[in-house]
C-alpha cells in the first residue's frame, strides 16, 4: 500500500495546451480519493500522469515519498482500470485476470490460487473459462477490476469505470466498489464526472476545473458548502 | 466459417428492413455476369482430356514451383517488413506520416508495369542502387529469381499494411496501456498483447498478399523478364503459352482460378473486414 503525492504537477502538450496546471493532490495510504470534474477538465490526464502513461512537464510525483517522474509505467507497481476495460479478447477471463501474475512469472499453482480468490470475491467463478465477448457489461468491469487488484499493487487507479454501464447498474455497483476498496485497504484514485458517484464513493473529493483544483473536501464538507 | 456467416447476414438484412429496388437488379445481374461468364468461357474452352498432361508438363511444373516459392518468400517479406510499417503508420505522431501512408499505398494504385520499370531503374545496372550493388558485390539483381520476389513484395505489401494498420487503429492503445501499468515492458507488450490482437488482421493480410504475389505479372515481366525456371512464374507462363499453345495457357489459367477461389474461401470474410477497418 502506498501514499501518492502530486506536488505542483503540470502537463503541457507539445501543441501548447495546458491540460493540468500546478496540481497539488495527495492520496494517503488506504484513502479513496475521487477526482470529479466535467469532461475535458484534465482528470483523466492526471491518472495517466500518475500511471506513467504520459510524461509530467513540471512538478513532482511521489509514491511513498520517492520521486517517480522518470519511472516507466511497468515499474511503478500501480494498477489501472480503464473506461473501456480493455480486456484481452483472445484470452479467457481466467487468463485476463492472471495476466499481471504471468508477467511476474509466478508459479502456476500460485497463479491459480490467486485468480481463484479474486474471482470468488468478484463473483466471477462461473465465468472463468469464458471469453470477455460473452460477458455482460457489469461482468466485464469486474474482470477489469480483478485484473487490476490480483497482484496487490501499491495503488489502484480507476478511470470512469462505470461510464459504460446503465444507470441502475451503476448505482448498484457503487457499494460493491466501495466495499472492495475498504476490504483491500488499497490506496485508490478514482476519476468520474458523476457527482453522485463521487459523493457515494470517496473519502475525499477533489473537484477539478480546467486542469486545476477548484475545491477539495470530504463528501460531507462539500455537501455543506453546496447546500447553502 | 461460411456456415456461421450466412445466418448473421440474413438477420442483418431483416434488421435494416431495406428492400432492394427492382431497378438495381439489372445492373447487378450484368455485374455478376461480367465476373462469372469469362470464367465459364474459360471452362468451356478447356480441353479436359489433355488437362493432366498440360498441367504436368515440364514448363508448367517449373512455373508452378517457381510461383509457389517466390510468392511464399514474398509473403514472408511482406509480414516481416509490413507489420512494423503498419504499426508505425498507425501509431506514430511524427509529422508527415500521413504523406508516408499515401506513398506506401502507391503500389496498390500504380500500374504494375510502372512499378517494374521503377524497380529496374533503381536496381538495374544503370540504376544508382543497382550500380552500387554491382560494383561492390558483383551481384546483378534484375532478371533473377530475387527480382521476382522483389517485384512481388513491392506490389503485395500494401495489402498487408492496409489490413494490419486498420486493425491497429481500430484496437486503439488502451490494450497496450493496461499491459504497461500491469508490469509489462514494451517488448513484452508487443509480443503478448499487440501481436495476438493483430492476428486475425494479419491472417487476412497474409492471404491477400500471397494471392497478389501469386498473380503478379506486370512488374515481374518488366523487372525480372520471363526466363523459364528462373523468373517465368505461372502468370508469365500463361502469357507465353497464349501464343504457342492455347490449350496449355487455358489449363494454367484454370489452375490459377482454382487457387484464387481457394484464397477467397479461405480469407474473404476476414479480409473484407480487415480492409474496411
In percent, the amount of chain B with pLDDT more than 90 equals 51
3-class DSSP state of A165? coil
What is the pLDDT, as a whole number, of residue B264?
Answer: 77
Residue B86 in this model has a pLDDT that exceeds 80: yes
What is the pLDDT, as a whole number, of residue B181?
Answer: 92
- Tens of pLDDT along B143-170? 999 999 999 999 999 999 999 999 998 8
Q: Where are the domains of chain A?
A: 1-74+182-228, 78-153
Residue B270 in this model has a pLDDT that exceeds 70: no
- Tens of pLDDT along B129-143? 888 888 888 888 889
What is the pLDDT, as a whole number, of residue A61?
Answer: 95
Residue B17 in this model has a pLDDT that exceeds 80: no
How close is the nearest chain B Cα to the Cα of A102, in Å?
10
- Most B-contacting residue of A51, A52, A63, A73 (CB-CB within 10 A), to test interface: A73
The pLDDT mean for chain B works out to 86
Domain CATH number, residue B271: 1.10.3720.10
Nearest to A155 by CA among A48, A66, A76, A83: A76
Which residues in B lie closer than 8 A to residue A51 (C-beta atoms)? Answer: 177, 180-181
Note whether residue B25 is domain-resident.
no
Averaged over A26-50, what is the pLDDT?
92
Note whether residue B71 is domain-resident.
yes
Specify the DSSP element, H or E, that contains A108.
helix A108-121
What is the pLDDT, as a whole number, of residue B6?
Answer: 40
CB contact under 8 A, B180 and A88: no
If one compares A5 and A171, the residue with the highest pLDDT of the two is: A5
Partner residue opposite B174 with nearest CB, options A84, A99, A151:
A84
What is the pLDDT, as a whole number, of residue A228?
Answer: 47
Q: How far apart are CA B83 and CA B97, in angstroms?
A: 16
Q: Classify residue A27 as left (phi > 0), alpha (psi -120 to 50) or beta.
A: beta
- Tens of pLDDT along A165-222? 888 888 888 888 888 899 999 999 999 999 999 999 999 999 999 889 999 999 988 8
pLDDT-based confidence at residue A29 (cuts at 50, 70, 90)? very high
Q: How far apart are CA A93 and CA A134, in angstroms?
A: 10
B183 interfaces chain A, CB cutoff of 8 Å: yes
CATH tag, A1-74+182-228: 3.40.50.300
Residue B193 in this model has a pLDDT that exceeds 50: yes
Least confident of A33-42, B1-10, B108-117, B214-223: B1-10
What is the pLDDT, as a whole number, of residue B268?
Answer: 61
What is the pLDDT, as a whole number, of residue A168?
Answer: 84
Count how many domains chain B has: 1
Q: How far apart are CA B258 and CA B267, in angstroms?
A: 14
Q: What is the DSSP letter of B193?
A: I
Partner residue opposite A74 with nearest CB, options B172, B174, B184:
B184
- Tens of pLDDT along A83-94? 889 999 999 999
Averaged over A53-57, what is the pLDDT?
93
In percent, the amount of chain A with pLDDT more than 70 equals 98
Averaged over A109-134, what is the pLDDT?
93
pTM for the model stands at: 0.77
Note whether residue B79 is domain-resident.
yes
A50 interfaces chain B, CB cutoff of 8 Å: no
B95 interfaces chain A, CB cutoff of 8 Å: no
Residue B127 in this model has a pLDDT that exceeds 90: no
pLDDT-based confidence at residue B9 (cuts at 50, 70, 90)? very low
The pairing of beta strand A18-27 with beta strand A4-12: antiparallel
CB contact under 8 A, B199 and A74: no
B175 interfaces chain A, CB cutoff of 8 Å: yes
Q: Which three cell numbers stand for residue A52?
A: 506513467
- Most B-contacting residue of A103, A111, A115 (CB-CB within 10 A), to test interface: A103
Residue B205 in this model has a pLDDT that exceeds 70: yes
What is the pLDDT, as a whole number, of residue B275?
Answer: 43
Alpha-carbon dihedral sign for residues B85, B91, B94, B95? positive
CB contact under 8 A, B177 and A53: yes
CB contact under 8 A, B183 and A104: yes
Residue span of the structural domain in which B211 resides: 51-276
The Cβ-side half-sphere exposure at B202, using a 13 Å CA radius, reads: 18
Note whether residue B97 is domain-resident.
yes
Residue A143 in this model has a pLDDT that exceeds 50: yes
Amino acid at each position: 500500500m502506498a501514499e501518492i503525492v502530486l506536488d505542483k504537477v503540470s502537463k503541457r502538450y507539445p501543441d501548447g495546451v495546458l491540460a493540468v496546471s500546478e496540481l497539488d493532490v495527495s492520496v494517503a495510504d488506504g484513502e479513496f480519493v475521487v477526482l470529479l470534474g466535467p469532461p475535458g477538465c484534465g482528470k483523466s490526464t492526471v491518472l495517466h500522469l500518475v500511471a506513467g502513461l504520459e510524461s509530467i512537464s513540471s512538478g513532482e510525483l511521489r509514491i511513498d515519498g520517492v520521486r517517480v517522474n522518470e519511472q516507466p509505467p511497468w515499474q511503478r507497481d500501480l494498477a489501472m482500470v480503464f473506461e473501456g476495460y480493455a480486456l484481452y479478447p483472445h484470452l479467457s477471463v481466467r487468463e485476463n485476470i492472471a495476466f499481471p501474475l504471468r508477467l511476474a512469472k509466478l508459479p502456476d499453482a500460485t497463479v491459480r490460487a490467486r485468480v481463484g480468490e479474486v474471482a470468488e470475491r468478484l463473483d466471477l467463478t462461473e465465468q472463468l473459462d469464458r471469453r470477455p465477448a460473452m460477458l455482460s457489461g457489469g461482468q466485464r468491469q469486474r474482470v477489469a477490476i480483478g485484473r487490476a487488484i490480483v497482484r496487490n499493487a501499491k495503488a489502484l487507479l480507476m478511470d470512469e469505470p462505470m461510464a459504460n454501464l446503465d444507470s441502475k447498474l451503476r448505482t448498484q455497483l457503487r457499494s460493491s466498489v466501495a466495499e472492495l476498496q475498504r476490504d483491500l485497504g488499497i490506496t485508490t484514485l478514482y476519476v468520474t464526472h458523476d457527482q453522485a458517484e463521487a459523493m457515494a464513493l470517496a473519502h475525499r473529493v477533489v473537484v477539478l476545473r480546467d486542469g486545476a483544483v477548484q475545491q477539495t473536501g470530504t463528501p460531507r464538507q462539500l455537501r455543506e458548502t453546496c447546500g447553502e | 466459417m461460411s456456415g456461421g456467416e450466412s445466418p448473421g447476414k440474413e438477420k442483418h438484412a431483416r434488421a435494416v428492413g431495406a428492400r432492394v429496388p427492382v431497378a438495381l437488379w439489372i445492373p447487378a445481374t450484368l455485374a455478376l455476369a461480367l465476373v462469372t461468364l469469362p470464367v465459364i468461357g474459360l471452362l468451356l474452352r478447356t480441353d479436359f482430356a489433355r488437362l493432366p498432361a498440360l498441367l504436368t508438363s515440364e514448363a508448367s511444373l517449373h512455373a508452378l514451383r517457381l510461383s509457389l516459392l517466390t510468392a511464399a518468400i514474398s509473403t514472408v517479406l511482406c509480414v516481416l517488413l509490413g507489420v512494423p510499417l503498419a504499426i508505425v503508420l498507425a501509431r506514430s505522431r511524427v509529422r508527415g506520416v500521413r504523406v508516408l501512408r499515401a506513398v506506401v499505398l502507391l503500389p496498390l494504385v500504380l500500374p504494375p508495369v510502372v512499378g517494374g520499370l521503377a524497380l529496374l531503374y533503381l536496381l538495374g545496372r544503370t540504376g544508382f542502387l543497382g550500380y552500387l550493388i554491382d560494383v561492390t558485390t558483383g551481384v546483378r539483381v534484375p532478371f533473377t529469381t530475387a527480382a521476382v520476389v522483389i517485384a512481388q513484395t513491392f506490389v503485395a505489401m500494401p495489402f498487408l499494411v492496409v489490413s494490419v494498420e486498420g486493425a491497429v487503429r481500430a484496437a486503439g492503445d488502451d490494450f497496450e496501456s493496461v499491459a504497461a501499468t500491469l508490469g509489462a515492458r514494451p517488448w513484452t507488450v508487443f509480443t503478448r498483447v499487440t501481436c495476438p490482437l493483430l492476428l486475425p488482421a494479419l491472417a487476412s493480410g497474409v492471404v491477400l498478399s500471397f494471392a497478389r504475389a501469386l498473380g503478379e505479372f506486370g512488374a515481374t515481366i518488366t523487372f525480372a523478364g520471363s526466363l523459364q525456371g528462373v523468373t517465368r512464374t505461372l502468370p508469365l507462363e500463361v502469357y507465353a503459352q497464349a501464343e504457342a499453345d492455347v490449350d496449355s495457357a487455358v489449363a494454367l489459367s484454370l489452375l490459377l482460378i482454382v487457387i484464387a477461389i481457394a484464397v477467397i474461401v479461405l480469407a474473404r470474410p476476414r479480409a473484407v473486414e480487415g480492409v474496411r477497418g
